[in-house]
Amino acid sequence: MSLRRLARGNQVVEFVLIVALAIVLAFAIQAFIVKPYRIPSGSMEPTLAIGQRVLVDRIGNDFFPPSVGDIVVFHPPAGAADQVCGANHYPATEVCPKPTPQEATNTNYIKRVVAGPGDTIAIRNGHVILNGKLQKEPFANFAGCGGGAPDCNYPTPFKVPAGYYFMMGDNRDMSDDSRFWGPVPRSWIIGEAFATYWPPDRIGFL
């Protein structure tokens, strides 16, 4: 075998190895560090629109608990799509107190953390009352929540259990969230959405 042919063979092997390594790194990054997600619904409008794409920090969730105000991607409880509450029966003036025990591992939701472990939450016309204080929420859309709309008013305070987080969409009248299927345990949270990269005119940090 000539030296030229041997060198060409080595180049092919090197190229294949580089491509394989790049593929492995791409999968590793998505699995453990940063993963892209597409927004499937209007529940987070006006913050995030349908079809918009965000980057989610997966590794930070292992070291730092979510904070109120964070936008997170998580697995909802089984039955969330049908608004199944774990207890199945609860007063109309109260949010769902407990999710179903099963995690919907093949489904991803994106919402905002509005209350954390030990916090007390009530909801008035879509506005969050956290630990007795009405929250300033300039990011949210409250259209449709006036006039005593039942899905926007839960006057009975609810204490979030230890290790759980209460999620709500920014589009308060059009969001399927913890009001209907309960708070989410930290182990079901995938990570925090920290930036949007598509479409180009909405690139930026969240």
Distance from C-alpha of 166 to C-alpha of 183, rounded to nearest angstrom: 4
Rounded CA separation 190/151 (Å): 27
> Alpha-carbon distance 39 to 175, whole Å?
13
DSSP-based three-state secondary structure for 100: coil
In the chain, helix, strand, coil percent, each to 5? 25, 30, 45
Report how far residue 92's alpha carbon sits from residue 101's, in angstroms, rounded to the nearest whole number. 22
Q: How far apart are CA 203 and CA 206, in angstroms?
A: 9
Active-site residues, by number, are 43, 111
Asked whether the beta carbons of 182 and 85 are under 8 A apart, the reply is: yes
